[in-house]
Structure 1
Amino acid sequence: MGDSTSTNIRNLLEGRINLVRNLAQNIAREPANAETLMDESVVTSSFLTDYLGKVDGSFSIRPNTKMPDGYDPRSRPWYKDGMNASGAILTEPYIDLATNKMVISVISKVSSSIGVVGGDLALDGLVELINSLNFGGMGYAFLINEQGKILVHPDKALVMKSLSDLYRTHTPKLSGELTEVQFNGQARLLTFAPIKGLPSANGYIGLSIDKDKAYATLSQCRYSAVIATKDARGAASRRAGFGQHHGRQPAP
């Protein structure tokens, strides 16, 4: 399940990264048509918002949204990160001023003379995607970076917290091993699968599974096996007694 979820999220993010990369290249070739290029349905349908911050401080966003007075994209972390990067990158989660939602951005420098283009992905949508596999009600998946910081989680209160914050005594390792932890008084099993091939985002899919539910089927199987063994022994004993009652020895 971890590998499948990792592949799903990688495919989604790769597609969005390629869209922003292509948008940046197209704007670099046709800067005068930047807003027309940003209006293309393949872009607007793939992101919560897409936008362009220019080196002169101007800002364009789709859908059109009133930004706070004095808003200057050049002061924003996403703009600075984009200008310093060599290609398209993913940001850490932050509150988007246009939508007031927690988002992760895909950003790319258009050119040093034009600015940075980006697209926002709502964390709510990513949570739904990451948990689109059927875990049988046993648990959930979440996204974490290589430093152990939680980026996407069904519980919004845990976003941007680290594993060491949640599990101070036995912090689980970012590996495929099953680690048993206690969380809110409940025994859970954690395991992690790497998301490979994403630029500047060495992330992992974490799976958190209710231990009791995970082993419930096995426990039921063992219980059934014990009952079946007892029934078999009882039947054998009854057969043995029946044979002796009629003066016959039971077959070996």
Structure 2
Amino acid sequence: MGVISISDLVNRPYFVYIVGEMGSGKTTFLDLLDAYQVWLGNLGLEDNIFFTFTEPLPEKKLWDRYKECKNSQIRDPSIYMAQSHFAKQKRTIIDKAAGLEGERKPGFYFVDRSLQEDFYVFAKGLENLFTGKTYARYVEETEPVLNSLPSPDLVVRLRVERPEVSQKRVEGRGWGEKLPLSRYHKMAEDYQRYIDPWIEHIEVPVISIRTDLPQFDFDTAAGQSYFLWTFLAGIRSATDSLGQPFWKLPYTPLPQEKIMVAKQ
């Protein structure tokens, strides 16, 4: 296929949230984009001029951090979090996706799991780990951070309506600690209660993909290929609605040596 010029794709930076429950495929999705660098001449992530990623604290470690805060009686867990995930995402959002005109190269700037998910789902779901005053302090210091960030240009919403699928995928990562199915049900409810209304409120194009359907079997090359090309169909439509047509790209199966990235 050869190298595709950025000028043929988009003419400005696009800031994209990847939003979804644990096990919905956020990491798999970004791994697939990374693996298919043949579009851009096999550039590595550190040199990639089109896709830019932030790496958040994984959900398992996020929960562990909150527990550490509680067990060690750290006074303010919001400061603990702000030094990692918050600070990194804010740099990406403001410095890259919303940078000064002419200073940022056109492309898609992906954020894997939004700060809103950390705040409304993970921290809120663990509220019982904190004292009332500690959680109130967390809310007080975190909400201004969220309110200071510009809205994304695009949201990729990965949905799972069968929490047992999420549980199976997460356990396949080899975390060691198995989370009860009730935790996944609660997470799905929290996403519907807090995250989906927030996405609707910001009024940006949304690519919604239900990833617990049989065709999205991440353990197979066909399933991963279907996942990626479903996204590409959506992003082409979304960028059309933003007034910036995406490129005319025919369906081409992913190379077998590139595809099985999630299991490596």
Q: TM-score higher than 0.5 here? A: no
Higher relative contact order (CA 8 A, sep 6+): 2
Higher strand share: 1
Higher helix share: 2
